[in-house]
């Protein structure tokens, strides 16, 4: 609904419903944003969280309306989604191969969504190599509370509700399981955890395209997936396989996050592309999905995650944190429009 108050702006400028969303390239009116105005105050309710983007949107709206006198109130109303229990949206964070920073990306995206104003959970689905317990600073030996003999209470860390196989075993315990056992464990911790009311549940997937990925796609309605890669050719080939796998099971890919895009020397400032340049952008363009963010090869990202306080929480105002937060906004915005913004990928049977 749009209400025009007397004495606000000239009517020719009062077309906020025609403002083009910076992430989606469509007008707020077309997207169904709720817009109210009174005096110089404008209230906008979007379907994605963007608490950290108010200043930027205010400047963009002022330019659009041709004024410098505007106060923007931004609100978040999550779309209903098609999740399970009280979880509105499930997002898989995946990679075609290991070692590309998928788990670090997953935890920072989850923390970024939380910082933007959403209620967020994080499920570590890497049954064989769970790492989210360490990244979230959960003390070894801390176990989830069991309720009514069959439900797990998720462990709260840095504002997130988290569950991981690392909460069930010690750091040195290997999971020597065949595929069906691992799939069964995932199904149990996913469906028997009391997530309560969540806007987003991010699932840190194991690398590859195996049993765990198929179990997740078959047992719960996954709203979308994010593919994590590095610029090097072999990682990009595996990223394409991951995208095609999600296309085969009708899960839209929300975008690509490219890690280790460049390295800037802390002494002289020289920038080098250690693992190649432009690969993630090229693949994103070829497959019709957005490049959500490009993260540098920076020691602080690894140190902060290993230390139990990931970058978005350890240094929220840093440029790296802002990249994660921008990627999270873009990801959630893509989810808002659902299949209308999903990729079109043609698969040819061999």
Q: What are the domain boundaries of the chain?
A: 11-76, 87-341
Instruction: Give the span between the Cα atoms of 146 and 152, in whole angstroms.
Output: 5
pLDDT tens, residue by residue, 82-124: 778 889 999 999 987 778 899 999 999 999 999 999 999 999 9
Phi/psi zone of residue 116: left (φ > 0), alpha (ψ -120 to 50 degrees), beta? alpha
**Helix, strand, coil: what percent of the chain each, to 5?**
35, 20, 40
Q: Comparing 8-22, 41-55, 86-100, 309-323, which segment has the lowest mean pLDDT?
A: 8-22
The average pLDDT across 17-33 equals 94
168 and 209 Cβ atoms separated by less than 8 Å: no
The answer, yes or no, to whether residue 276 has pLDDT greater than 80, is no
What's the pLDDT at 135? 94
301 and 294 Cβ atoms separated by less than 8 Å: no
Q: Of the candidates 96, 97, 168, which has an alpha carbon nearest to the alpha carbon of residue 132?
A: 168
The average pLDDT across 125-131 equals 78
Kindly tell me the burial class for residue 265, based on how many C-beta atoms sit within 10 Å of its own C-beta (0-12, 13-18, 19 or more). Answer: exposed
Per cent of the chain over pLDDT 70 is 85
Q: Which helix (H) or strand (E) holds 246?
A: helix 233-248
Q: Comparing 7-11, 193-197, 255-259, 284-288, which segment has the lowest mean pLDDT?
A: 7-11
What's the pLDDT at 261? 85
pLDDT tens, residue by residue, 181-225: 666 777 788 888 999 899 999 999 887 666 677 777 777 889 999
- Number of C-beta neighbours around residue 331 at 10 A: 26
Q: Which helix (H) or strand (E) holds 92?
A: strand 87-94
The average pLDDT across 231-252 equals 81
Instruction: Give the span between the Cα atoms of 271 and 15, in whole angstroms.
Output: 43
- Number of C-beta neighbours around residue 12 at 10 A: 8
3-state secondary structure of 310: coil
**How much is the mean pLDDT over the chain?**
83
The answer, yes or no, to whether residue 177 has pLDDT greater than 70, is no
The CATH architecture to which 87-341 belongs is 3-Layer(aba) Sandwich (3.40)
What's the pLDDT at 10? 41
Order the strands of the 198-204 sheet from edge to edge.
155-157, 160-164, 120-124, 198-204, 87-94, 224-229, 253-258, 291-294
39-42's contacts with Cβ under 8 Å and 24+ in sequence apart are 39/5, 39/7, 39/8, 40/8, 40/69, 40/70, 40/71, 41/71, 41/73, 42/16, 42/70, 42/71, 42/72, 42/73
Radius of gyration of the chain (CA): 21
Q: Of the candidates 48, 124, 128, which has an alpha carbon nearest to the alpha carbon of residue 89?
A: 48
Instruction: Give the span between the Cα atoms of 27 and 19, in whole angstroms.
Output: 5
Angle at 245 between CA 305 and CA 262, to 5 degrees: 40
Instruction: Tell which wins on pLDDT, 58 or 241.
Output: 58
Kindly tell me the burial class for residue 83, based on how many C-beta atoms sit within 10 Å of its own C-beta (0-12, 13-18, 19 or more). Answer: buried
């Amino acid at each position: 609904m749009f209400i025009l108050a007397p004495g606000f702006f000239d009517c020719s400028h009062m077309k906020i419903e025609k403002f083009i969303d910076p992430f989606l390239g469509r007008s707020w009116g077309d997207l169904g944003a709720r817009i109210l105005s009174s005096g110089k105050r404008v209230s906008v309710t979007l379907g994605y969280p963007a608490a950290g983007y108010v200043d930027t949107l205010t400047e963009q709206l002022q330019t659009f309306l041709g004024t410098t006198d505007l106060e923007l109130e931004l609100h978040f109303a999550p779309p209903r989604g098609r999740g399970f229990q009280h979880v509105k949206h499930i997002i898989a964070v995946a990679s075609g191969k290991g070692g590309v920073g998928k788990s670090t990306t997953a935890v920072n995206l989850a923390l970024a969504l939380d910082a933007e104003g959403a209620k967020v959970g994080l499920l570590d689905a890497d049954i064989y190599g769970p790492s989210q317990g360490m990244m979230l600073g959960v003390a070894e030996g801390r176990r989830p509370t069991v309720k009514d003999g069959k439900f797990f209470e998720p462990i709260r860390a840095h504002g997130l509700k988290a569950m991981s196989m690392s909460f069930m075993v010690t750091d040195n315990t290997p999971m020597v399981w065949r595929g069906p056992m691992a799939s069964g464990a995932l199904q149990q911790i996913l469906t028997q955890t009391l997530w309560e009311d969540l806007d987003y549940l991010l699932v840190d997937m194991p690398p590859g395209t195996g049993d765990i990925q198929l179990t997740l796609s078959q047992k719960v309605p996954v709203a979308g997936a994010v593919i994590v890669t590095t610029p090097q050719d072999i990682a990009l080939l595996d990223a394409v396989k991951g995208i095609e796998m999600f296309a085969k099971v009708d899960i839209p890919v929300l975008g690509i996050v490219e890690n280790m895009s460049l390295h800037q020397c802390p002494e002289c400032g020289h920038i080098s592309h250690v693992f190649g340049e432009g690969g993630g952008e090229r693949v994103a363009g070829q497959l019709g999905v957005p490049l959500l963010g490009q993260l540098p090869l920076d020691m602080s990202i690894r140190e902060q995650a290993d230390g139990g306080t990931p970058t978005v929480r350890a240094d929220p105002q840093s440029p790296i944190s802002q990249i994660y937060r921008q990627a999270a906004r873009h990801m959630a915005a893509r989810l808002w429009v659902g299949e209308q913004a999903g990729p079109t990928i043609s698969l040819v049977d061999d």
